[in-house]
Amino acid sequence: MDLSKRVQLFLCISVLVLLIPLKADAMHIMEGFLPPMWCLVWGLLTLPFVVIGLKSIKRIIAENPRLKILLAMAGAFAFVLSALKLPSVTGSCSHPTGVGFGAILFGPTVMSVLGLIVLLFQSLLLAHGGLTTLGANTFSMAVVGPLVAYGVFVLVRKMRGSQSMAIFLGAALGDLLTYMTTSVQLALAFPAEIGGFAASMAKFMGIFAVTQIPLAVSEGILTVLIFNAIAAYGKDELKLLKFFPEGGMNHVK
Amino acid sequence: MISIDSVAYMSKLKKMEPRQKLAFALVTLGTCIWADYVIVSVAVIFIMGFTTVCRGGVPLRTFLRLFTVPMSFLLLSVITIAVNVSELPELLLISIPLSGKWIGVTRHGLHEAAGLFLKALGAVSCLYFLSLNTPMVDVLAALRKLKAPKLLVELMGLVYRFIFVLLETSNTIITAQNARLGYTRLSTGYHALGMLASSLFIRTYKRSDELYTALESRGYDGELNVLEEPYDSSLTGCAAAAAVNTVLILASIYLK
């Protein structure tokens, strides 16, 4: 099917015009987007992490009951943070995920539970994400993201990298890996007609990478700014946080 | 502050037993995703729209405006699925050449994308039925009765209550920052947002500390128990929900 140059140009421009205003903010997979099988698969994969998270929260609370209220406040904080607009490098606005911040401060296991709660509230109160896709979204945002962010943070600290570097890399990579996981989830559920999973993966990665790399960098910078400000102004108040896992707030000077 | 939340409190279906609403929304949602049929998806959108707007008394504009929220994700993903790259232009319905390969859409791809688009909107309408007619407190009550982990439900209840406190604080701070031209440039925007998040966090922390002290002095021993409102459970509602889903399921089996 041969199209004239003019029609081709028109198609190109209309596709561009369609895509440009779409900022992939709040990259949660929406309600009803995944086939039932993948909803179940991601739900089951997420379950053990949530169970471990609940157990570790129980242990933390048994040690210091005051922290239950603090954890709930942290969950609300993450929700409010996700409802804010983030100035991005490209000038557009999008949502900070707060994944890296929470993971570095509270550790990845606690974050899986808090993330689940925040995602559920986002779907019910803000119409971001959904109930059937809760498993998949929790897996990318509250399991993979925090694990990567925390892992990178600890690793960079072990290699004697600076505090800010560790926070920046942790938050940025945690953010990026979250979106990569989302792309994998979408590609697995919708393999391309021509080329299968790999082609579909390339398509989703291509589209989301363009929008997400600047966002990940912004998230990293912002997380560093937040940590610096907290360390400067709130050091005395945050003594309680030493109950959280090694590598958390107690390392911030 | 959160429009869905305030609409839910004004809904005429608020008094209805939340477990019934939860069951109706989830079963219809499941049917819509399982059936994956354009007619079923459209039917679900209309059924949920009808119950929410006519029975629940939710303004039609509110209901329709909510559909724009997931639209950017939906359009972006559907286009990504519909557009394929191939070396053989014969496979594609319409195509554009690009460095030796062809980018375009296939007939099957277009069908799939359109079906997916409607299916997702159908599923979203079920979610909206639930969230526009059921305040979060009732959802939590339903979860408690359904024996969800106690700690999880309690944390959720606390988070829900704190969200509004923090939103108010953050809105006040944002107004103050805007009044001082905090977000006029990108660099000042970063700075302002960093300040906002950190001061919000420190305030959050202090507030939780004070709250715990207040609770403890009133005999808090690790659990917050509140009385639940009585709900109406109607048999006709149950029957209608069951009938709707039976018809939908039978229709999709017949079509398959």
Task: Give the residue extent of every domain in chain A.
Answer: 53-247
Q: Which two tokens stand for residue A74?
A: 């942290």
Asked if A117 lies within 8 A of B152 by C-beta distance, the reply is yes
Report B:16-35 residues touching A (Cβ under 8 A): 26, 29-30, 32-34
Rounded CA separation A205/A202 (Å): 5
pLDDT score at B46 = 92
pLDDT in tens, B46-77: 999 999 999 888 899 988 988 888 888 888 88
Whether the CB of B38 is below 8 Å from some CB of chain A: the reply is no
Whether A155 contacts A129, CB under 8 Å: no
Dihedral class, residue A4 (left if φ above 0, else alpha if ψ from -120 to 50, else beta): beta
SS3 A19: helix
Pick one of 3.40.640.10, 3.30.360.10, 1.10.1760.20, 1.20.1420.30 as the CATH number of A53-247: 1.10.1760.20
- The amino acid occupying position A35 is P
Contact across the interface for A22 and B32, Cβ inside 8 Å: no
Question: Residue A54 is inside which H or E element, if any?
Answer: helix A36-63
Mind listing the pLDDT tens digit for each residue in A160-181?
888 889 999 999 999 888 888 9
Task: Tell me how long chain A is.
Answer: 253
- Each domain of chain B, given as residue ranges in start order, spans 1-134+232-256, 149-225
Q: Using pLDDT thresholds of 50, 70 and 90, give the confidence band for residue A136.
A: very high
Q: Residues 6 or more apart from B8 whose CB is under 8 A from it?
A: B14, B131, B132, B133, B134, B135, B136
- Spell out which residues of chain B touch residue A114, defining contact as CB-CB under 8 Å: 155
Q: How confident is the model at residue A144 (pLDDT cuts 50, 70, 90)?
A: very high
**Partner residue facing A117 (CB), from B120, B156, B207:** B156
For chain A, say whether B105 makes contact (Cβ under 8 Å).
no
Q: How many CB atoms lie within 10 A of CB B224?
A: 10
Which spans in chain B are helix H? 3-10, 18-35, 38-50, 60-66, 71-82, 107-133, 136-145, 150-179, 186-217, 235-255
Query: How many CB contacts within 8 angstroms connect chain A with chain B?
Result: 270
How large is the greatest C-alpha to C-alpha distance in chain B, in angstroms? Answer: 76
Q: Using CA atoms, how far apart are residues B57 and B200, in angstroms rounded to an integer?
A: 37
pLDDT, one tens digit for every residue, chain B (256 residues): 678 888 899 888 888 888 888 989 999 999 999 888 888 899 999 999 999 999 888 899 988 988 888 888 888 888 888 887 777 766 676 777 777 777 778 888 888 889 999 999 999 999 999 999 999 989 998 998 898 888 899 899 999 989 988 888 888 998 899 899 888 887 888 888 888 888 888 888 888 888 888 988 998 877 777 787 788 877 888 888 888 888 888 888 888 7
Q: Nearest residue on chain B to A238, judged by CA atoms? A: B205
- Asked if A111 contacts A146 with a C-beta cutoff of 8 angstroms, the reply is yes
User: Is there a contact between A18 and B79 if contact means CB atoms under 8 Å apart?
Assistant: yes
Q: Is A165 on the interface with B (CB under 8 A)?
A: no
pTM: 0.86
Contact A121, A76 (CB under 8 A): no
Q: Contact A31/B41 with Cβ under 8 angstroms?
A: no
Per-residue pLDDT reduced to its tens digit, A203-215: 888 877 777 787 7
B98 and A CB contact within 8 Å = no
Q: What is the ipTM of this complex?
A: 0.88
